[in-house]
Structure 1
Amino acid sequence: MSLKSTFFYLLLACLGTLVSCNEDLYIEPVQLTTIRGRVLYSPTQQPLGNATVRLTPGNRIVATDSSGLFRFDSVITGTYTIQASKTGYGTEVATVETSVRTSPLITLLLRNDQALNRPPSTPTLVAPAQNSTGQPNSLILRWKATDPNRDSLTYQVQLFRSGSVTPTATFANLKVDTLVLNGLDYNTTYLWQVVITDGTNSVNGPVWSFQTGTYPEFSYLFARRMNGQFQIFGATASGTETQLTRQGSNWRPIVSPNRQKVAFISNSATDLHLFVMNLDGSQRQQVTTVPIAGLLPTDLSFCWSPDGTQLLYPSNDRLYAVRTDGTGLRAVAQAGSGRVWAGCDWVSSRIVARSTGTSFYDNELQVMNADGSAPRMFYARRTARVGNPVLSITGQQVLFTADVADFQNEEGRQLDSRLHSFDLNRNTLTELSVVNLQTSKVAGTNDLDPRFSPNGASLIFTNTDNTGQGVRSVYTSDVNGANRKLILSQAEMPYWR
């Protein structure tokens, strides 16, 4: 072989080798992308920070920031599984397929891990003690409970009367472990149970019980204005108060001669009627069928018969008597022409009554026999407000109020209403409200609705400022009006039992 041929073949061999080497060294380019996303709490869509996010294959792990965001950079394009988890929550998994042209935002929603939530503890009793007796009719229920997960607890309390399967009251969505109870009945056993929930689990507490004390001996009864209505209360000598009425508006409580019943005016039957109830507010019953009526509803008054079997009351131009069971209605007296009755009182064989004309300021006081005969007017004011009269124990003295200012306006305002006493035997009038002394009536106020104490030695009455907007309070005094003493605030129309 010639040298020229040999060189040719060697050149071909080298070229072949070079071609072979170029094919072995070729590598497909690596394509990278980014995977990003967020982790949210499913019920509220709020971000979950510090959640663990795992990317597989590759087993790369990152934590979400405070905005719930995560990011994996320099991820080779392909299909991946993303898993998000957080202590106290479940695990959520998603699959994503990546490419160089897209960087998807993945959202993973986590829920509470119910399996990890432990229920609250069973509530334990704090107060009142189990099976305790003599409890007041207003008290605070207290209990304790804890939650191992430190979840916020919500309470529901059910209150039952003993022997009843229907709750007397249910108190739901309580956020504290105490409950104030008011207006409980006296001498009654109550059962109560607490149900606790942490939002996932509920726990029923044991049934606890307590008994309220016996009914207190009320020294006074009075009316109080509440939410645009009147309600009747009883009060002990020490000042403990109990609300006795709740249905409709109720006022002018007057105790029976035997001190065991209370009669009052109520609008719960739409028209104004007289009702009778026990001293604890129970066994309330309507007495009248013909309404009590006059010029001004809150100005009306009535009375018991001396033996406690009847009620005497005004109904426009008639004075009616009716038995306390609602039977035996009869007319006792007729008012004069153009006049209506406003109030009355009855002691022994004597009745005293007030009538008005077409104005608040036209007033007459009359005395008559128990059958309505022999009426006699003993006091008249044609230009001033006068209150309803009441008789002393002997029936000799008449106690009432009258405005000495002789002021008049459309609202019937009084400027200086004072206590007065009239002696029916001597026909003498005595003013009892002394002004500007330390223990007497304050100038610019009105004395209203006076009554005698049970022994006749003292008076009880309402005092308020003469604007009609001030607080009404109940005072006592000597029978001559001296030595006033405040006994009840936000109270009016008192009766001294």
Structure 2
Amino acid sequence: MRHFRLFISFCAGLLGLWSCTEDTFVEPTRLATVRGQVLVSTTRQPVRGALVRISPGGRITETDSTGNFRFDSVLAGRYTVSATKEPFRTEVATVEADVQLVSQITLLLVEDRTQNKAPTPPASVTPTSGTANVPTTLTLKWRATDPNRDTLRYDVRLFREGSTSPTQSFTGLLADSLVVANLAYNTTYIWQVTVRDGVNTVNSPLFSFRTRPFPDLPYLFARRVGGQYQIFASGPSPSEVQQLTQSGSNWRPIGSPDRRQIAFISNVDTETFLYVMNADGSNSRRVTSVPIGGQSATDLSFCWSPDGTQLVFPSYDKLYTVRTDGTGLRQLATAPAGRFFAGCDWSGQGNRLVARTTAGFYDHDIVIVPVAGGALTPVFSRRSSRVGNPVFSPDGRQLLLSVDLGTLQNEQGRQLDARLFVLDLVSGTLTDLSSVRTENQSQTSKPAGTNDLDPQFSPNGARIIFTNTDNTHTGPRTIQVMDVDGRNRQQAVQQGEMPFWR
């Protein structure tokens, strides 16, 4: 009996143990995944490096280069997801984590301008502020950084010292460098860079530099620009060309004896007057109150006195002298009846003036004009061909001029075969420089069908500069140089006329 009761107790214990195990069984936990993307609200561009937090739980991750993020092993339920990234406002959204599918959410960030940090003020890199002897074409370089890595745009303004209006300005540049050209010589420039990041605008300090002095360019000439003559200076190299005038039409440049000034003819004041400017084109001012005039405006010429204090110029039948400051206007001579003065030159050797008078395109006299007044003395005449304005040789013994050997005459004054000649004032000998003699034969060095015009001696008298052009008057005009005996002709300037050799 006792053994039976023990057996019953044992079975009851097993039954109780089995019942207890069944009541405490827990079903396995099922987990979900939450993933999403962070984009810029306005552009829908992905935001890289945004901090994404999911709550409850407080787990944090960072978006990748495509703006994506992912939270795995999340308990099913409702969560709050937030994304933070400067300079945007924090964006918050809710998501339902479901074990049956991957929960997807998109967070759109709106820029918070109050968080945007300004870029650093641009600093000058090249040239260093205060640099002198800078070329007239140069690259400006600067440096600026942005804490938010925003795209930076630059505005650059360039001023001449003392001016409040920029000579050049540029806006919306993405590069931190800029090439500026056509700067004036021997001039101080002030420049400033403004940087913008789309929110902030920051100005640089004022930087400065000074351009190099004006180069010593020996050739002066006129060139057609936009239908008007402008004056240029040039050196032997084609790259050494500087435009000296801008407004109106300006022609016939002639340098002063000391090479510091240039006189020229201009119609900038409607009528045609003489002007003087510095060798670099600055400080242009009118000298004459009486117009310079004659039969053809572009055929007119004038001269400096040997000491550089006066200018002599024609005004129809009168020849005048005036000081370079515009005072002391005085009549030197009157042309014979029916004739106009057209050009002149003044030699310091013997203090003599030579002038050309004309009674039409094909009627010319070359005369000596007494500086102190008196009768005109003819030294050369042509009654049926064109003759150019004469210039003295440096020693005062010869005259250099052009003479047309063609026989055509028309109302336009066309020349067919204008050549350069040297007239010996003692012997009266006329020597053709547009032809050179080789092996006892005369060979024309001037190209056929062209004219040699407007000759001038070089300062040392060893060479001659002049214009060569097609005799149809429609072709290009080039400036050429040659030895004083007519040899070694070569081009000096591709496009130009009315040259002067300083």
TM-based fold match above 0.5? yes
Q: What is aligned with 1:450?
A: 455
Q: What is aligned with 2:320?
A: 320
TM-superposed CA distance for 1:388, in Å, is 0.9
- What is the alpha-carbon distance in structure 2 between the residues aligned to residue 389 and residue 260 of structure 1? 23
Cα deviation per residue 1:37-81 (whole Å; 9 max; x = unaligned)? xxxx99xxxx9899xxxxxxxxxxxxxxxxxxxxxxxxxxxxxxx
Change (3 A) 1:308 1:123: same
Q: Percent identity?
A: 49
Structure 1 residue runs of 4 or more that deviate by more than 6 Å after TM superposition: 47-50, 87-91, 110-113, 435-439
Q: Does 1:180 align with 2:185?
A: no
TM-superposed CA distance for 1:174, in Å, is 5.1
Q: What is aligned with 1:77?
A: none
TM-superposed CA distance for 1:445, in Å, is 2.2
Letter in 2 for 1:328: G
- What is the alpha-carbon distance in structure 1 between the residues aligned to residue 407 and residue 89 of structure 2? 83
Cα deviation per residue 1:420-445 (whole Å; 9 max; x = unaligned)? 11112111211111289999322222
Q: Does 1:423 align with 2:424?
A: yes
Q: Does 1:197 align with 2:196?
A: yes
- What is the alpha-carbon distance in structure 1 between the residues aligned to residue 418 and residue 183 of structure 2? 35
Q: What is aligned with 1:259?
A: 259
Cα deviation per residue 1:110-140 (whole Å; 9 max; x = unaligned)? 9976557665554343432333221123333
- What is the alpha-carbon distance in structure 1 between the residues aligned to residue 149 and residue 437 of structure 2? 68
List gaps (5 residues or longer) in structure 1: 1-40, 51-86, 92-109
- What is the alpha-carbon distance in structure 2 between the residues aligned to residue 470 and residue 373 of structure 1? 43
Cα deviation per residue 1:376-421 (whole Å; 9 max; x = unaligned)? 3333333333211111123221111122223334433333221111
Q: What is aligned with 2:105?
A: none
- What is the alpha-carbon distance in structure 2 between the residues aligned to residue 270 and residue 356 of structure 1? 25
RMSD across aligned C-alpha pairs, in angstroms?
3.6
- What is the count of residue pairs matched by the alignment? 403
Letter in 1 for 2:486: G
8 Å contact from structure 2 (residues 122, 143) kept in 1: yes
Change (3 A) 1:219 1:293: same
Give the secondary structure class of the aligned counterpart of 1:288. coil
Cα deviation per residue 1:178-226 (whole Å; 9 max; x = unaligned)? 132313231x332211113355432212322222223332322222322
Q: Does 1:386 align with 2:387?
A: yes
- What is the alpha-carbon distance in structure 1 between the residues aligned to residue 305 and residue 233 of structure 2? 22
Change (3 A) 1:433 1:112: farther
Q: What is aligned with 1:401?
A: 402
TM-superposed CA distance for 1:366, in Å, is 2.0
- What is the alpha-carbon distance in structure 2 between the residues aligned to residue 327 and residue 309 of structure 1? 11
8 Å contact from structure 2 (residues 436, 444) kept in 1: no
List gaps (5 residues or longer) in structure 2: 1-40, 47-85, 91-108
Give the secondary structure class of the aligned counterpart of 2:403. strand
Give the secondary structure class of the aligned counterpart of 2:248. coil
- What is the alpha-carbon distance in structure 2 between the residues aligned to residue 439 and residue 193 of structure 1? 59
- What is the alpha-carbon distance in structure 2 between the residues aligned to residue 150 and residue 386 of structure 1? 72
Give the secondary structure class of the aligned counterpart of 1:274. strand
Which shifted more, 422-431 or 234-243? 234-243
Give the secondary structure class of the aligned counterpart of 1:298. helix
Give the secondary structure class of the aligned counterpart of 1:282. coil
8 Å contact from structure 1 (residues 220, 236) kept in 2: yes
Q: What is aligned with 2:61?
A: none
Letter in 2 for 1:369: P
- What is the alpha-carbon distance in structure 1 between the residues aligned to residue 467 and residue 381 of structure 2? 22
Q: What is aligned with 2:28?
A: none
- What is the alpha-carbon distance in structure 1 between the residues aligned to residue 323 and residue 125 of structure 2? 51
Letter in 1 for 2:491: L
Letter in 2 for 1:313: F
Give the secondary structure class of the aligned counterpart of 1:206. coil
Change (3 A) 1:242 1:174: farther
Residue correspondence of structure 1 range 51-66 to structure 2 within 5 A: none
